[in-house]
Structure 1
Amino acid sequence: MTSKGSCLCGSITFSVSKFEPMVGNCHCRMCRKFHGAAFSTFADVKYENFKWLSGESFLQSYRASNNTVRQFCKQCGSSLTFRSSNSDLHSTIEIALATLDDEVKISPDAHIFVESKVGWYSPNDDLPCFRQYRDSEIISPND
């Protein structure tokens, strides 16, 4: 089943035909700043399973100091995608899960970069909390 997503103003639309298993809540400072929230939730998608449907001319990219690339709508500012060296290595793009227009039967499987989380929020679910990326130490969300 194909899922469709869009930015807040609807200028940009995309589709995803298949999600990869990794869906993470990222608590790093850059994700928090970019989303204006305690964390962001991204789902991995292989390039071949992702398609821009409309509005590519409204896409804007921001390359951060750590060489990650975030794409957003230059009309409304909606965060849409994230790419890192890890994404490039696996031919994936990470989709901001909350931009999907329909419900999907996937959910986060981990909290990452928890050492950077805001002080006013701590994960309170049963998902593993990684100090940094998934290959780092698992920690208590209150550490």
Structure 2
Amino acid sequence: MNIEQQYQGSCFCGAVNFSVTTQPVLMAYCHCDSCRHWSAGPVSAFTLWNPETLQITQGKDQIGSYKKTPGSIRKWCRTCGGHLFTEHPEMGVIDVPAAIIPELSFKPALHVHYQESVQPMADGLPKMKDLPAEAGGSGDLVPE
């Protein structure tokens, strides 16, 4: 019997609730200017999921979106402004901030866009100049 792990998440006020099943495709840190600006922090801790594993369980009508680039459609709660997820249609994944899935044990595998870092992190994880080659990046590493 195959039992899938399910995690619950929500926006800041709880108006929007969702679940994700199985495990993320990737957990990592992003240092790009766009993610830093969106997260209002020096680094963004993210989890990538197959889009079909995410289900909105409450508040679908409360979700707003903004498409800054063709590669990223950011979603948030219209009630509290809390961030929910970012669709990456060109990569075929959906990015959910690690902080809004409280039961998920965040275990990052690497850092992306590290050349834009404003918060160096000496944690021994690989530091990608941009993105891995399989995600459309150069695949180049930069020093910690």
Pairwise same-fold verdict (TM > 0.5): yes
Distance 1:65 1:17, change over 3 A: closer
Q: Judge which range, 33-42 or 57-66, deviates more.
A: 57-66
1:115 aligns with 2:115: yes
Instruction: Give the TM-score of the pair, scaled to structure 1.
Output: 0.86
Work out the CA distance in 2 between the residues paired with 1:66 and 1:27: 19
Normalising by structure 2, what TM-score?
0.86
Aligned to 1:124: 122
Structure 2 stretches of 5 or more lacking a match? 134-138
Q: Counterparts of 1:67 and 1:105 in 2: how far apart (Å)? A: 27
Which of 120, 128, 131 is 1:133 aligned to? 131
Residue 85 of structure 2 is aligned to residue 81 of structure 1: yes
Q: Displacement of 1:106 after TM fit?
A: 4.1
The one-letter amino acid paired with 1:108 is P
Task: State, as a whole percentage, how many aligned pairs show the same letter.
Answer: 24
Dislocated runs of 4+, deviation >3 Å: none
Judge conservation of contact 2:16–2:62 (CA < 8 Å) in 1.
yes
Q: Secondary structure at the match of 1:31?
A: helix
Distance 2:108 2:51 in 1: 20
RMSD over aligned Cα atoms: 1.5
Aligned length: 135
1:28 to 2, 26, 32: 32
Task: Please report how far the alpha carbon of residue 6 of structure 1 lies from its aligned counterpart in structure 2 after TM superposition.
Answer: 0.5
Aligned to 1:96: 97
Closer, same or farther in 2 for the Cα pair 1:29/1:128, shift >3 Å? same
Report the secondary structure of 1:87's partner residue: coil
| Unmatched segments (≥5 aa) in structure 1 | none
Is the 8 Å Cα contact of residues 25 and 50 (structure 2) preserved in structure 1?
no
Shift of 1:86: 3.7
**Mapped pair 1:64 → 2:68:** yes
